[in-house]
Amino acid sequence: MSDLREIAFREEGFVVKTLRGEELRKSYRLRHTVFAESLKWVPASADGEEVDMYDLWGSTVGLLDQDGTLLGMARLIPSSGRFMLENEFGALLPRNYNIRKERDTAEITRLAVNPAIRDPKLSTRIMFTVLKGIYQWAVENEVRYYYLEVEQRFLRALRMFGFPCEPVGPAVQLPPAGATAVAAFYDMWRFDERNGEKRPDFLRWISTIETMDGAVVSGRNSALTMAERLDAAGIAGSVTA
């Protein structure tokens, strides 16, 4: 995971960042609350934390409020490690499907909003901001394609919200909870193209960040080159082969 670039930006009173240390442990506890206690997708653990082998090479992006409470999160798995789609969620793929494992591909897992949030509008705002974090992590790490495994109804919502996630297999009821899930493939370039035409304000929002120092950086989309990324970060110097 050492070669992955981290993100950190402000978003209307929230902070979206790559989690480390105690903040990362908060994500394990939130995952336990959501995926073990609520959805029952995984067994409960005695310590109240949900951790698996993918955390060894995955990167977790979280949204924190001013008090440090973790309100939402997603774990992103680079292609240098195994995807959950290669193991636990293999049943969601068609027979003989070849999973893309190039450098420009990653997997979205453990996407969640804190269930303690009861306000539907706030919950939706948090989810969109987490999705912005996922987008910015991809920009920072030069990822174009994402795999994700989600409930079928949430996939429909993502598509309605402007995220062109294409199913790659049938909807399947997965044990032990029996949730109807589907695997999908998300192309960042297609997202930019579609929203540039139909929702330019949305594309402008998701590709603009306020740095931790208060600077506003726009145009951070999937077309951003490494030289532009270094320049935006204030890193001088030449880039050579």
pLDDT digits (tens, 9 = 90+) for 149-207: 999 999 999 999 999 999 999 999 887 777 789 999 999 999 999 999 999 999 999 99
The tokens of 205 are what? 């929002």
The letter for the amino acid at 148 is L
Structure-token match 């919950």, residue found: 123
pLDDT digits (tens, 9 = 90+) for 42-91: 999 999 999 999 999 999 999 999 999 999 999 999 999 999 999 999 99
Taking the C-alpha atoms of residue 33 and residue 25, their distance in angstroms, rounded to an integer, is: 13
pLDDT for the residue 231: 60
Q: At what angle do helices 188-198 and 120-140 cross, to 10 degrees?
A: 120
Question: Model pTM?
Answer: 0.91
pLDDT digits (tens, 9 = 90+) for 98-115: 999 999 999 999 999 999
Task: Return the CATH number of the domain spanning residue range 8-232.
Answer: 3.40.630.30
The tokens of 32 are what? 């336990």
